[in-house]
Structure formats: C-alpha cells, structure tokens
Amino acid sequence: MCNSKCSEWTKGDPILIEYHDKRWGKPCHDDRELFAMLCLEGMQAGLSWSTILHKEAAFKKAFDEFDINKIILYTDDKVEELMNNKDIVRNRLKIKSVIKNATAVKKMIESKEYKSLDEYIWHFTEGKQIIHDFKDFSEIPVQDDLSVKISKELKKRGFSFVGPVIIYSYLQGIGIYDDHLVDCPHKMKINY
C-alpha cells in the first residue's frame, strides 16, 4: 500500500488501493481498456470514482466487455435493458453516450485516419507520458489546456460526456498523465 499522501483518497478501500497502485497513472495502450475508461469516466460525472470502480465489473458485463463492435449494434430494447440493470449507473444519457462513443471510435478507425483509439489518444502527446511533480493534491488541476483541446476534438468527432474535467481524469486514468504525488512509490521514475 502507498504510504504517501496519495493514499488519502483511497481511504483504506481495497478496490481504490488496487486501482491507485496498479492502474492509475500507468500508460495504457489497449484499445478496449482505453474505450472502457473513457466510458467509465463519463459515467462518473456527478458521482464519485469509488462508486464507478465498485461497479466496474457490472459495467463490463452489461456493456459486452466494452466491445465497440457489439455496442454500436445496441437497440432501444438494449438501452431499456441497461436502464433496468440495478448494478450500473442507470442514466439514459450516459448509457446512450457509450453507444455514441463506440460509433465515433468505429467511424474514426474505419476512416483510416487513425488505426486505433490508442494511436489517436496518444498522438496528442506524441506517444509520451507527461509526469507532473505535484507535492499535494491541492496542486492538481481539474482540467488543463490539453484536456480542453482533447475534449473539443472528441466533441467534433461525435463523442459525448467528454468535457475537459472528464478528459483530465481520463488522461490520469490511462497514464498519459502521471499525477501520483512526488513522494508516492507508484510514481513513474524517469530520467528527464
């Protein structure tokens, strides 16, 4: 377990600890996981990340493991089925955004402009991770110029629930940003 101030937000919750120690701030290049995280971050809007992580397994089951090829085929009946699933966040706009975002990813890949969501999202930093040197959580912004830029680009491509605050959190979750505090043992160590 992390002994730095980073552990403050895990509050002793084993699921949050596991997420913090093994996933948060670690570069992800798996398209399905990148898409899942984008959807989960959108689901979080107005809720706590703890709530979403505790429902993550149910989300994966409900949304066919976040397989975009299956999600783009969802019908109104499937939306109603999801709206009746007590194990996930039952918000019609958020559920429909998963379908909308799957369609946007599929369209982007089929256009051959980018061969994958991984290539697209990492192109904003030329494939490089950005490691911030924050000493306290109060220093971490909720959005920045990059999250605003990516948010605008995603919206132009037809994505929804991708505002700059959601995108900043997404960039942390998929490891484009390493926002572990400087004293955290899970901080990426690189030579500048």
Residue 130's CATH number: 1.10.340.30
Indicate the number of domains in the chain. Answer: 1
From its phi and psi, is residue 37 left (phi > 0), alpha (psi between -120 and 50) or beta?
Answer: alpha
pLDDT of residue 141 exceeding 90, the answer is yes
Catalytic residue list contains 122 = no
Residue 191: is its pLDDT beyond 60? Answer: no
pLDDT digits (tens, 9 = 90+) for 162-181: 999 999 999 999 999 999 88
Q: Is residue 101 part of a domain?
A: yes
Provide the domain limits for residue 123: 13-178
Residues 6+ apart with CB under 8 A from 51: 44, 89
Q: Is residue 112 part of a domain?
A: yes
Residues found in the chain:
192
Tell me the β-bridge partners of 177: 130
The answer to the question of residue 25 being in a domain is: yes
Task: Enter the pTM of the model.
Answer: 0.94
Is there a catalytic annotation at residue 49? Answer: yes
**Selected catalytic residue, list 8, 9, 18, 19:** 19
**For residue 7, is it within any domain?**
no
Identify the pLDDT of residue 76. Answer: 97
Whether residue 145 lies inside any domain: the answer is yes
Which of these is catalytic: 41, 120, 168, 170? 41
The residue that leads in pLDDT, 138 or 74, is 74
DSSP 4-56: SGGGGGTTT-HHHHHHHHHTTTS----HHHHHHHHHHHHHHTTS-HHHHHHTH
Does the pLDDT value for residue 142 go beyond 70?
yes
User: What single letter denotes the amino acid at residue 51?
Assistant: T
- Per-residue model confidence (pLDDT) at position 4: 61
Q: Which pLDDT band, with edges at 50, 70 and 90, does 189 fall under?
A: low
Q: What is the mean pLDDT of residues 114-118?
A: 96
φ, ψ (nearest 5 deg) of residue 30:
-90, 120
In a domain, 185, yes or no: no
| 155 in any annotated domain | yes
Q: Is 8 inside a domain boundary?
A: no
Q: Which of 33, 49, 119, 153 is an active site residue?
A: 49
Q: Does the active-site annotation cover 24?
A: no
Confidence at 83, pLDDT banded by 50, 70, 90: very high
